[in-house]
Amino acid sequence: MSLLEKLDAAASARIAQLPSGLGAFGIPIEEIYSPTEARIGTKRILLLGTNNYLGLSFSPECRKAAHEAIDQEGTGTTGSRMANGNYSGHRALEMEFADFYQCRSCIVFTTGYQANLGTISGLIGPGDVALIDGDSHASIYDGCVLSGADIIRFRHNDVIDLEKRLRRLGERSKNTLIIVEGIYSMLGDQAPLADIVRLKKAYNSTLLLDEAHSLGVLGETGRGLAEKYGLIGEVDFITGTFSKSLCGIGGYCVSNHPQLDQLRYVSHPYIFTASPSPATIAATRAALKLLKNGRELRERLWENARQLYSHLQALGYQVSPEPGPIVATILDSPQQALALWKGLLENGIYVNLILPPAAPEGKSLVRCSVNAAHTTKQIEYVCEVFSRLYSSIIQ
């Protein structure tokens, strides 16, 4: 088989796994009106499937900062941080992140995906071990593959399984990077961080926590799961993204280890790519300020999250293990999930359809995510539509 024939075969195999009638996969959004409303085709729809947790995508402060940066510094840096793409804004944002976490250093990457790729592949290599949660995001898995280290998965959020694997590693546990996420992107559940920190200390391992979905969402000042448990000082490396609560694009890693800065010399996903554009950096700096002072936004977000979660649970839907901004309904089959997703869209509600193998344990998910900008009325409307669809689709 030629390379192109192999690609055709792989794509056909993937398409064959999908339920029929999935014409609208990757559906284009024609116009965006606000953090909660957009147009798809001719229909005005309610956005309930974004990662815009604090609802900052249209914030006047961020837009103004981005406009000014374009006017003053142009549209792109045209180069990497190691060469011509290292602007004072990149350094300023790194210092602001380090200050936010009260950590020694920060590195800004061009995407959240690259923050994981670059940090993981810089920290471990052949002969080392990556011990990762079974539900890890692809950026974590790909970073481990790039590193050449041995990859071992432990059962999702199962500290007994994690300890069993650490014990089996013996002396190698010292060369092991344990990787977990603050909030998991599919089911929205949180890592049992206190137990994981206890184990990483007991076995002299190193811990990396990806706060992509928990930045802005958890902790008194929005620093994530590590802040919620008062454990920022105990986690070796924290990565995250600008593309969710901060409404930009880019990623970061913070740490108290002075070695974090050495990654700049060895990490290919940092070295061999163009740096984030001036507008991205300026908007992210403005968003970080809003996030730090965003207690009211977080409270609003959690009110919306609890309202939707408890309502769907009361209706009889099988939902995420715990309440949070990601509220997944878990369906028995891809057909059922597709029917629910289509029913919601017909009623003007946009959510995410997640089918195997992307969803954990072969499940199919209709994944909703709420944000701080949703009104109580909007959430009530969503609950009403879920209620109407329950009898036709689930029962």
| Residues belonging to the active site | 185, 213, 244
Q: Which is nearer to ligand PMP, 200 or 213 (CB)?
A: 213
Determine the Cα–Cα distance for residues 119 and 124; give it in Å rounded to an integer: 9
Near ligand PMP by CB under 6 A: residue from 94, 210, 227, 236: 210
If we measure between CA atoms, which residue out of 230, 360, 244 comes closest to residue 301?
A: 244
Stretch that binds ligand PMP, among 2-10, 111-119, 302-310, 351-359 (CB under 6 A): 111-119
Near ligand PMP by CB under 6 A: residue from 185, 280, 329, 371: 185
If we measure between CA atoms, which residue out of 310, 319, 302, 313 comes closest to residue 374?
A: 302
275 touching ligand PMP, by CB under 6 A? no
Q: Which is nearer to ligand PMP, 248 or 278 (CB)?
A: 248
Q: Which is nearer to ligand PMP, 366 or 389 (CB)?
A: 366
DSSP string, 104-138: SEEEEESSHHHHHHHHHHHH--TT-EEEEETT--H
Residues 152-181 interacting with ligand PMP (rule: CB under 6 A): 181
Number of residues binding to ligand PMP, judged by CB under 6 A: 14
Beta strand pairing call for 37-40 and 31-32: antiparallel
Q: Is 178 exposed, middle or buried (0-12, 13-18, 19+ CB in 10 A)?
A: buried
Of all residues in this chain, which one has the CB nearest to ligand PMP in the complex?
A: 112
Determine the Cα–Cα distance for residues 285 and 232; give it in Å rounded to an integer: 21
Angle between helices 159-169 and 193-202 (to 10 degrees): 10
Stretch that binds ligand PMP, among 112-120, 315-323, 329-337, 372-380 (CB under 6 A): 112-120
57 touching ligand PMP, by CB under 6 A? no
What would the two tokens of residue 47 be? 């956005």
111 touching ligand PMP, by CB under 6 A? yes
Would residue 245 be called left, alpha or beta, if left means φ above 0 and alpha means ψ between -120 and 50 degrees?
Answer: alpha
Q: Is 257 exposed, middle or buried (0-12, 13-18, 19+ CB in 10 A)?
A: middle
Near ligand PMP by CB under 6 A: residue from 59, 139, 157, 329: 139
Q: Which amino acid is at 391?
A: S
Q: Which is nearer to ligand PMP, 311 or 367 (CB)?
A: 367
Letters for 302-321 (x = contact with ligand PMP by CB under 6 A, - = none) are: --------------------
- For the bound state, the minimum distance from the C-beta of residue 252 to ligand PMP, rounded and expressed in Å, comes to 10
360 touching ligand PMP, by CB under 6 A? no
329 touching ligand PMP, by CB under 6 A? no
- 97 touches 288 (CB < 8 A): yes
Q: Which is nearer to ligand PMP, 121 or 243 (CB)?
A: 243
What would the two tokens of residue 102 be? 């009260």
116 touching ligand PMP, by CB under 6 A? yes
- For the bound state, the minimum distance from the C-beta of residue 183 to ligand PMP, rounded and expressed in Å, comes to 8
Which residues are CB-contacts of 311 (< 8 A; sequence separation ≥ 6)? 383, 386, 387
Burial letters 150-174, b for 16+ CB under 10 A, else e = bbbbbebbebeebbebbeebeebbe
Residues 218-257 interacting with ligand PMP (rule: CB under 6 A): 241, 243, 251
352 touching ligand PMP, by CB under 6 A? no
- For the bound state, the minimum distance from the C-beta of residue 292 to ligand PMP, rounded and expressed in Å, comes to 20
Residues in contact with ligand PMP by CB under 6 A are 111-113, 116, 137, 139, 181, 185, 210, 212-213, 241, 243, 251
